[in-house]
Amino acid sequence: MISLTTPITEEAVRALKVGDEVQINGVIFTGRDAVHKYLHEGGELPPGVDLKGGIIYHCGPVMMKQADGSWNCTAAGPTTSIREEPYQAEIIGHFGVRGVIGKGGMGDRTLAGCKEHGCVYLHAIGGAAQVLAECVTRVRGVYFLEKFGSPEAIWELEVSEFPAVVTMDAHGESLHREVFAASEAALQSRL
């Protein structure tokens, strides 16, 4: 298990290979469809959000507001990443992102962006939203809540030992592409 603490250096990311298991510590920011489209169209990050050396988590967490005004994360499972394919490579390069967490993998544009800019795609376990929420030690802030709504807002999460697997690395390797090719070959052999 490789420990990664945000902000992550390009050197640390380029040392990672497909199949490496990691534990993430530090701050991550959620971002789904609305945020990606907004940033892709030239929108600015709100003050206080710095993605340089950081991680974007494709997640719409379930949050409970506490009596003191703070937030408690009760579920934080990954959402399907491929929806962000039209935007992700540009956002990686423009904002200096070093990691993207989600499920299901991404396409060739994102893979090329990871290779060019020094970023990895990290696969989180789908169906384990409550378990992953236990890795969220604190909700540090929320941005664009009124603009996009709770699932699409940017949530700033402090995490400890958040587990993930590198499935797309900064060397152009993708487990998702390998699985697709193997599945396609198996299907063709049965036709």
* Secondary structure of residue 23 in the 3-state scheme: strand
Q: Which residue has the tokens 């941005």?
A: 143
Percent of the chain with pLDDT over 70: 99
Contacts 24+ apart (CB under 8 A), 4-11: 4/99, 6/53, 6/54, 6/55, 6/98, 7/52, 7/53, 7/54, 7/98, 8/53, 8/54, 8/55, 8/98, 8/99, 9/53, 9/98, 10/98, 10/118
Would you say residue 184 has pLDDT above 80? Answer: no
Tell me the Cα Rg of the chain.
16
Distance CA 163, CA 122 (A): 9
Catalytic residues: 36
Specify the fold of 2-7+26-164: fumarase (3.20.130)
Q: How far apart are CA 14 and CA 110, in angstroms?
A: 15
- pTM score: 0.93
Nearest residue to 158 (alpha-carbon basis) of 143, 179, 137, 172: 137
Report whether the peptide linkage leading into residue 151 is cis, meaning its omega lies within 30 degrees of zero.
no
Tell me: the pLDDT tens digits for 72-129? 999 999 999 999 999 999 999 999 999 999 999 999 999 999 999 999 999 998 888 9
pLDDT band, residue 56 (cuts 50/70/90): very high
Q: What is the mean pLDDT of the chain?
A: 95
For residue 129, give the nearest of 58, 51, 52 by alpha carbon: 58
pLDDT of residue 41: 96
Average pLDDT over residues 48-62: 96
